[in-house]
Structure 1
Amino acid sequence: MTAWTAHVTVATVVEKDGKYLFVEEQTEGVMHTVFNQPAGHVEAGETLIQAAVRETMEETGHQVEVTDLLGIYTYTPPMFPDRTYYRFCFLAKSTQYFANATLDTGIVGAVWMSLDELLETARARSPLVIKAIQDAQSGQKFPLSLVYEHQNSPLISNLDA
């Protein structure tokens, strides 16, 4: 039996003119491409917000400014019951687009779609993709101050013990 693993991930919901920024991507265990928000794992040494900005750029070519926390979501995929994803989802706005950006491996491209268009594809990567858009459309948002991310400082690192 495989040990259970927690995965800390981030995602951004970026809206423009009633459409949302999605990533069309290949994913493990699925034959066709799926649609997801720009999302990925938090890397060592970065904050949740830094990870969200980085992942959005790497997967879409859009530089974003994170404006609000949309929500914290959990998901255990049926095909991988030994994994649980803890997803910190942020609202963000695109501040610049780099059309010639090299996108991460496995990313087909970035697309703008409405929620209805996403639902018509029946290719959302997980239920969290749909839920995040529904939450954004309902006006759900929380201030970024809700997320406290301690940055180690040489002056106070000895207090962490």
Structure 2
Amino acid sequence: MTQTASPAENVWCPRVTVACVVARGDRYLMVEEEVFGEVAYNQPAGHLDPGETLQAATVREALEETGHTVVLEAFLGAWQWLSPEHGEQVLRFAFSGRAVAHDPARALDTGIRRALWLRRDEIAALGPRLRSPLILDTIDAWLAGRRLPLDTVASLLPGARP
């Protein structure tokens, strides 16, 4: 007797990530991290956890990766990308926010070396050391003035707030 997969097992789901553009003057909050034994650079970014809103995930990832408490100000957009790292499609939701507090003694996520503030030209000069091409895309969207209301991304999760 052969078993057939249940409908739930046949559902394809992209990897959902969040990211945050945090500007201070002409500098942007970045993360230096180790990925597969190499140094890479990224914005505060990470994966959406079960039951978490996109906005809450963005604030959490910023704190865990940089020690900065971030208040979100706008939604920048959603990007689809085929990640060579994971060999699958990524759906990335990007927000902008401002850092309102910093805890320099906070332990950062595993693999994170440090948080740093870089100008756009310094970020672009990192070239292949950037974790994804979406980093510059989201900064450029922010520089172009894209600012969508936070409630553009709504959640129907119980107790969710934008």
TM-score range, shorter chain: 0.7 to 0.9
In the alignment, structure 1 residue 77 sits paired with structure 2 residue 83: yes
2:27 matched residue in structure 1: 19
- Of the structure 1 ranges 143-152 and 8-17, higher mean CA displacement relative to structure 2 is found in 143-152
Percent identity of equivalent pairs? 39
Shift of 1:124: 1.2
**Contact 2:67-2:108 at 8 Å conserved across structures:** yes
| CA RMSD, Structure 1 to Structure 2 (Å) | 1.6
Shift of 1:77: 2.0
1:6 matched residue in structure 2: 14
2:99 matched residue in structure 1: 94
Aligned length: 148
TM-score if structure 1 supplies the norm length?
A: 0.86
1:39 matched residue in structure 2: 45
| Deviation sequence 1:16-45 (CA, Å, 0-9, x none) | 0110000111124xx521111100011112
In the alignment, structure 1 residue 106 sits paired with structure 2 residue 114: no
1:156 matched residue in structure 2: none
**Contact 1:124-1:130 at 8 Å conserved across structures:** no
Q: Of residues 51, 54, 68 in structure 2, which corresponds to 1:48? A: 54
Q: Of residues 103, 120, 127 in structure 1, which corresponds to 2:125? A: 120
The answer for unaligned runs of 5 or more in structure 2 is: 1-9
1:58 matched residue in structure 2: 64
Aligned letter for 2:44? P
Matches within 5 A, 1:135-146: 135-146=141-152
The answer for unaligned runs of 5 or more in structure 1 is: 154-161
